[in-house]
Structure 1
Amino acid sequence: MKKRRFLQTVGLGVLPVLGFSQPFQKTSLAKKLLPNALKPGDLVGLVSPSSATADLMQFTFAKEAMEGLGLKVIEGKHLRNRNGHLAGTDQERAADLNEMFANKTVKAIVCIRGGSGASRILPLIDYEIIKKNPKPILGYSDITALHNAIHSKTGLITFHGPNGSGNWGKFNVDQFKSVFFEQNDNIHFENEVEETEDLVIKENRIRTIFPGKAVGDLVGGNLTVLTSLAGSPYLPSFKDKILFLEDIGEEPYRIDRMMSTLMLMGVFEEIKGFVFGQCTDCDPSGGYGNLTIDQIFDDYLLPHKIPAYRGAMIGHIPKQFLLPFGAKVMLDADKGTITTMQPIFEQSR
């Protein structure tokens, strides 16, 4: 599924040294808020904060996937609406999200898909309702806008992972059950390695950009969506954070442009560690002098000497990590692992 193609970016300048930057903005710091725990048999709400779903079977697939995980399902009132490319008006999509957080019988919220448009509803979200009713919300791609806004405004730990109508094969099902049902304090995310007849394992390999370990709260998401929030009050502080990114359908020069936005914001001076997942369909279209993705990451990250690697199972891929956004984690750039360092659920209920 494709994300937005339009960006609400700030103007970019050219600096002689990529390691140089100035802090771009500061956001208010919200105290970390743990969501209430989820258990089999709980009621989850399906919402569509972004693009409309044209294939009606996708609603069936999402509902059956949640039921297959042992959960009950309620649909948002406007889930099946359409307004141009969006899943209803801004007011309708925000209303579904607010109502799901307010509804105490709903124990978690699952976004049916990404696409484009979640950033339009950020001013319409009732963040006070979310603070009073902390519960897990799951999704990725355009849902990056919700993860960043909700965490920055409330401190709530959210979950970056498969959308409701996405892939629910064994790997993703096991990730879901491990994160939500087993509720371990130390969840270990490491690429699955599949052996083939080839002498060399080539799938799901990681590349260490700069070695070492780092500990910090995990923030990030889709690179295009993240940078489209630049200059807004809906980004968390990047101070001492572990930044994770992924993208799809962006040529290297566009990745470079967006990485330069983060550089100009001062992000790489503030973070403690960096991990890039997959850049699906990001090959250059042709022409001379294309920077490779590896060269781009080296240019922006190596001057700061922070632990960093690429190739994690994060992004627009069938098998993907289900990451707790905002949770304290340890990143090991040599081994290519992310491990949670704290409880990620409130155990009171």
Structure 2
Amino acid sequence: MLIPETFRRIGVFAPAGKLAPELFQSGAELLEAEGKSVRVAPHVRQEYPVRYLAASAESRAEELTRLWLDPETDLLLAARGGFGCAHLLPLLDWKQLATRPELPLVGYSDVTVLHYAMLKTGAGTPVIGPMLGKLAQAADDPYTAGHFRKALLKTPREVEAPPEFGPVHILKPGNAQGLPLPGNLAVAATLAGTGFLPDPAGKILFFEDLNEPVYKLDRYLTQLEQAGFLRNAAGIVFGQFSDCAPPEELERLFGEVAARFGGPVRMNFPFGHVFPFASLNCRQLVALESDRICCC
């Protein structure tokens, strides 16, 4: 079973872009096969004239709120990322949503906009994990499926290196422990100065990205560094940067960041837009111990 029995009623929403019908079907069929009760926000399957959005910002915010505050919802599952989650931030009543601090909200990529705001406001439990459109693919990958289940249950574990990516690289040695603060690098940079970026003090920052040339990655890191976001973090872990730049260019850039940072820095962690994928629960401590990364 991909999603543990504890989570029986799944609320599916589309906070950003549209999901292709065939991907919706494959994800919904998997949930139904696992015996889940699935409640789908109406806008997930409706047409909307703006091609990169699932619905208006007001509709997306209202339907997410309805699912979130429904006491029968055990888990919130984003349909996909894309762009548009930032539209929801000023429309959501974060104080009201914070009345359900244990409710998991699963996603990655643009959905980390919501995760950051959740950590800022104490609303819900952000979980980095596969979204509806990739559930079937995740279920077929034992590494991804195993770490997803363990993240949802906050099971202590070592995140072993999958052979597809090879071992984690140590850019700056040292040990650290703290709650994870994972996100898409470009997304994190866009939140600088908005009031929705959480306090990184004592946390382990995890970054990933997709289809961004190295100079843009440099731009995002420079923005976050100059905004003070990196300063008080306990550690930094760079994940997968698929179709961004050759490994040597990434290692040069991340190495420069590591040289200026006060704590340990790692790269090549299995977190990004590709599988295998190590899910993370933002309410579960992470420890950087030499070349090991553990969820405690």
Q: TM-score, normalised by structure 2?
A: 0.90
Report if the CA contact (8 A) 2:236-2:265 is conserved: yes
Counterpart for residue 218 of structure 1: 180
SS at match of 2:287: strand
**Once the 2 structures are TM-superposed, how far is the Cα of residue 230 of structure 1 from its aligned partner?**
0.7
Change (3 A) 1:298 1:41: closer
- 1:253 lines up with 2:215 in the alignment: yes
**Once the 2 structures are TM-superposed, how far is the Cα of residue 133 of structure 1 from its aligned partner?**
2.4
Structure number with higher helix proportion: 2
Higher relative contact order (CA 8 A, sep 6+): 1
Report if the CA contact (8 A) 1:160-1:324 is conserved: yes
Distance in 1 between residues matched to 2:231 and 2:7, nearest whole Å: 45
**Once the 2 structures are TM-superposed, how far is the Cα of residue 127 of structure 1 from its aligned partner?**
1.5
Distance in 2 between residues matched to 1:283 and 1:245, nearest whole Å: 15
Counterpart for residue 150 of structure 1: 118
Matches within 5 A, 1:136-147: 136-147=104-115
CA offsets 1:20-49 (integer angstroms, 9 cap, x no match)? xxxxxxxxxxxxxxxxx9734611011000
The one of 255, 266, 270 equivalent to 2:232 is: 270
Distance in 2 between residues matched to 1:65 and 1:50, nearest whole Å: 22
Distance in 2 between residues matched to 1:192 and 1:66, nearest whole Å: 26
SS at match of 1:193: coil
- 1:328 lines up with 2:293 in the alignment: no
CA offsets 1:288-338 (integer angstroms, 9 cap, x no match)? xxx811111111221334111100100011211110124322122x31413
Distance in 1 between residues matched to 2:112 and 2:44, nearest whole Å: 19
Change (3 A) 1:83 1:188: farther
Q: Which runs of structure 1 show a deviation greater than 6 angstroms over 4 or more consecutive aligned residues? A: none
Counterpart for residue 337 of structure 1: 293
**Once the 2 structures are TM-superposed, how far is the Cα of residue 106 of structure 1 from its aligned partner?**
1.0
SS at match of 2:230: helix
Distance in 2 between residues matched to 1:136 and 1:95, nearest whole Å: 18
Matches within 5 A, 1:236-251: 236-251=198-213
The one of 255, 265, 287 equivalent to 1:298 is: 255
- 1:57 lines up with 2:14 in the alignment: no
Q: What are structure 2's unaligned runs of at least 5 residues?
A: none
The one of 148, 159, 164 equivalent to 1:189 is: 159
Counterpart for residue 200 of structure 1: none
Letter in 2 for 1:239: A
Letter in 2 for 1:306: G
Report if the CA contact (8 A) 1:219-1:326 is conserved: no
Report if the CA contact (8 A) 2:158-2:292 is conserved: no
Q: What are structure 1's unaligned runs of at least 5 residues?
A: 1-36, 195-202, 285-290, 341-349
Matches within 5 A, 1:1-349: 39-40=5-6, 42-53=8-19, 55-81=20-46, 82-84=48-50, 85-134=52-101, 135-154=103-122, 156-166=124-134, 167-168=137-138, 169=140, 170-181=142-153, 183-184=154-155, 186-193=156-163, 203-283=165-245, 292-332=249-289, 334-340=290-296
Counterpart for residue 20 of structure 1: none
Change (3 A) 1:211 1:69: farther
Counterpart for residue 28 of structure 1: none
**Once the 2 structures are TM-superposed, how far is the Cα of residue 283 of structure 1 from its aligned partner?**
2.2
CA offsets 1:219-267 (integer angstroms, 9 cap, x no match)? 1310001111010111100112110000000011111111101110122
Distance in 2 between residues matched to 1:56 and 1:156, nearest whole Å: 28
Change (3 A) 1:205 1:106: same
Letter in 1 for 2:293: T
Letter in 1 for 2:130: P
User: Which protein shows a greater Rg?
Assistant: 1
Distance in 1 between residues matched to 2:235 and 2:295, nearest whole Å: 13
Report if the CA contact (8 A) 1:98-1:129 is conserved: no
Number of matched residues? Answer: 287
Greater alpha carbon shift after TM alignment, 315-324 vs 39-48 = 39-48
